[in-house]
Amino acid sequence: MAIPVPVSPLAAPLPELPPLAGVRLSAAAAGIRYQGRTDAVLMEVAAGSTAAGVFTSNKCPGAPVDWCRAALKGGKARMVVVNAGNANVFTGKAGRDACAATAAAAAKLAGCPAKQVFVASTGVIGEVLPHEKLVAALPGLQEGLSETNWEAAARGIMTTDTFPKAATRVAQIGDMPVRITGIAKGSGMIAPDMATMLCFVFTDAKIPADALQTLLSKGVGGTFNATTVDSDTSTSDTVLLFATGQAKHPRVPPADGNAARNRFLADFARKLEEVLLELALKVVRDGEGAQKLVKIDVTGAVTARSAKRIGMAVANSPLVKTAIAGEDANWGRIVMAVGKAGEPADRDLLSIGVGGVWMAKDGAVVPSYDEAPVVAHMKGREVEIAIDLGLGRGKATVWTCDLTHGYIDINGSYRS
């Protein structure tokens, strides 16, 4: 079913992933859709672990997203069950039943309430998930749980991803080191049918669920939510963050001491954002047909929110993305995309730069600009675009990839 796609030229290697206290993982071949590869992943976190999550803004979310949203209200986690090949989206009551049955079976194995089991699915949409295959695989998955199975888990959640995606950092909390490790799959919409972006991040820090949720919600703004491959928001996007509490750092200050808590978690927040950004950029690097990673810095907008909207309008413009694929520093298309964003912009104050060279300033081309370094920059794997609105102090950075024949090949073929 899947089209053989070569590994992305932008692929990033898997980092070394040491054990993280309180996390065990395993992967197995449950035969849900793919043959001859792992497609089911179980992730166990220590009793007492807290959880946070952010989910797709799509109004037609998959059944697993509904399940996770409800489960998250408890703030506690023990198990995560993930399958690849079937997204369990738009499957009605059968989809809800599949989530409940899977969670119940995993809960029984773990000896925990079903609401401490999180489920996620990725793959084809609109087909009923054969959850009995997943349930049947659970005992074997539990037996296989190990602290060292990070790569197996990162591979087991892939659909047509061309490389596994993980990131890890060490942060300081109260002078004690804690680790943050995450895995992710997807590239916006990389599967031939309907893909999903899934990301699971773990830490051994001991952080209350409300603080964890605040950190995650804030962290995705400038990372996952600042990237786009093709503007199509999946029905299954899910980022879950679990804290096992196994590290020996001092207690996190209570929520009513917000300033103290923020100071206490400042390094953790920074490193969490680094992990999220590295994972998000790995997803973009595996964007369908991507040949170039594109960074867009917007400055001088009226607000940060306005800057981000302008950046996303540029990042989602098919004309900008095809120009980048053609290695054409076509700043006119960038002007167009800035203007169509619907945000405050004044043509005669606008500046556009590529690869560090300002090509257009104050509403007209820079007469003396040297095209040679710009052309050389465009031929590289990473392209940097700078946009200054000249209006205020709002700024934002967003990332995307180019739009190539590969995207049409992957998405224009019949499902099976």
Q: Which residues are catalytic?
A: 196
412 contacts a copy of itself (rule: CB under 8 A): yes
The nearest distance, CB 231 to a copy of itself, in angstroms, is: 7
The nearest distance, CB 363 to a copy of itself, in angstroms, is: 5
**Contact range with a copy of itself by CB under 8 A, out of 75-83, 110-118, 199-207, 328-336:** 328-336
The pair of three-digit structure tokens given for residue 356, joined into one six-digit string: 């560090």
- For a copy of itself, what does the binding mask look like between residues 361 and 380, x meaning CB under 8 A? -xxxx---------------
- For a copy of itself, what does the binding mask look like between residues 109 and 128, x meaning CB under 8 A? ---------------xxxx-
The nearest distance, CB 57 to a copy of itself, in angstroms, is: 7
**Interface with a copy of itself (CB under 8 A), residue from 139, 257, 342, 373:** 342
Q: Between 381 and 405, whose beta carbon lies closer to a copy of itself?
A: 405
94 contacts a copy of itself (rule: CB under 8 A): yes
The nearest distance, CB 409 to a copy of itself, in angstroms, is: 8
**Interface with a copy of itself (CB under 8 A), residue from 72, 80, 296, 403:** 403
- For a copy of itself, what does the binding mask look like between residues 236 and 275, x meaning CB under 8 A? ----------------------------------------
235 contacts a copy of itself (rule: CB under 8 A): yes
